[in-house]
A and B are shown apart, each in its own frame.
Chain A
């Protein structure tokens, strides 16, 4: 187990370094950061001063070394729009994203698990068809549009729920549904297909022969094994969650990391965007690492395979 964790840690570190390097060189090679930062009426003196302040007059490899040296210490530069260190801005927004992502994931799991299991048990019947259709629709509907339509229906027309920004519990309903929809569809299909496979396997027959109640067979023996593919594909879901968070937070003016990313794009705040991407990479890698370890713990085949 120790060796497995060390190996995964190394892989994670490589991914973060790779992302940071790509981000750095993309920023330096494809555009001119000075033009992005300065207003259009800047004088040549302003320009020269900024170039020196940013260290852009030095050779590229030196710039990269400085960038890497600072980044390792947690210094990711200063945001142009907020005039504060990118790290500070990022950390101040992070809790809001976690506050939104947690209920979304809970909703997704609470809906997806029973729906997936019952669809597999009643394959081809009414419930399976209905939930299958919902899944197909959920995958086809763009998140941002769903969010806007929910606002139109529940905030504008019915006036039941607030249309955005953070606040009391009612402020969470629409954004959490918007963010959760994508996950529900994916989870449900996955659980359904792996349940179908497992219901056919030998150990399930064995459990039934032993005389275990149907409830135990399905919800303990089958479901546990059916959840393994969800862990396998966790990384892919994480990537989807990040995309969903950017779009959802933008639609609902939710002051989290996603909204911050959008602001960085709209205001062409390159240092901020660069910092957010690197920090997102770190976060994703850490979470995936935890899931991997959990996965290896749950399924010994991975540890020794």
Chain B
């Protein structure tokens, strides 16, 4: 058995603590502007002070506070889009696999189409037509996620369907709905959990990219991708504005991916080939 991945777990724990205790940990508000305190560097650079640990941005907002609240936004988006996108994928996967036939063929065509068409284009379209916001973002990222869940879960269900306990349930007179909900669903939960963990990184990068392109949560909400984007124009003078939030994204995504790999080997080694 592989050892517990301590480093990734530590990074994830740090992020969760940052997100949950943001109001306590942050001395400053993430949105309060102050023209006198504009563009202060982090404390380890000359001219920085302990008052603003990671410096301030072009509006004088505290970068440390924005990072903390940004972690919060990231985790909220991760939770909601996995719930919506993963949930839709799970449902479609179970129904498609269990019912089979024409419905299955149709749904799997849809999955194929979703794989080849870049979801980011629909996400951008939604941001323009529905306006920027958390709802739009969740729908957009769910569009990106559902197909992968549906395809893998369907494969699992196809195998489960052949098992004796399913036939017995059918002989016993269970309705298809009941079989899917109480006999199939619990048996694909392991796979679902592994997929969800492996997709956390995908969601974080997608959220950051959409924020960067002006299609994420609207400013002044502190999101990491948005912070990278806002700091981009000042890369020559205030490098920390883009560097720090981007580094946070990379570290967190790396941690979730490594943790997901470990979880997969532990719970569902079959998924290795993906």
Contacts and interface: CB of A to CB of B under 8 A. Distances in A.
Nearest to A152: B235
Nearest to B120: A243
A273 B115 contact: no
A15 interface: yes
B124 interface: yes
Interface stretch (A44-52, A103-111, A246-254): A246-254
Contacts of A231: none
Contacts of A145: 208, 228, 242, 246, 249-250
B105 to A, nearest CB: 12
Interface in B115-138: 115-122, 124-131
A273 B124 contact: yes
Interface string A276-295: 11001100110010000000
B125 A277 contact: yes
Residue in B120, B127, B229, B243 with the greatest tally of chain A CB atoms within 10 Å: B120
A47 to B, nearest CB: 19
A142 B249 contact: yes
A133 B85 CA distance: 29
A85 interface: no
Contact of B209 (A22, A152, A243, A276): A243
B119 to A, nearest CB: 8
A19 to B, nearest CB: 6
A19 B117 contact: yes
A284 B113 CA distance: 11
A279 to B, nearest CB: 11
B199 to A, nearest CB: 13
B130 A31 contact: yes
B228 A144 contact: yes
A187 interface: no
- The prevalent SS among residues of B at the interface is helix
A116 to B, nearest CB: 16
Contacts of B212: 142, 144, 247, 250
A136 B261 CA distance: 11
A237 to B, nearest CB: 10
Interface stretch (A201-209, A214-222, A260-268): A260-268
Nearest to A261: B124
B225 interface: yes
Given A26-B126, A31-B131, A242 B243 contact: no
B214 interface: yes
Contact of A148 (B115, B119, B121, B242): B242
Nearest to A247: B209
A23 interface: yes
Contact of B257 (A140, A156, A268): A140
Nearest to B215: A265
Interface of B: 109, 113, 115-122, 124-131, 201, 205, 208-209, 212-215, 225, 228-229, 232, 235-236, 239, 242-243, 246, 249-250, 253-254, 257-258, 273
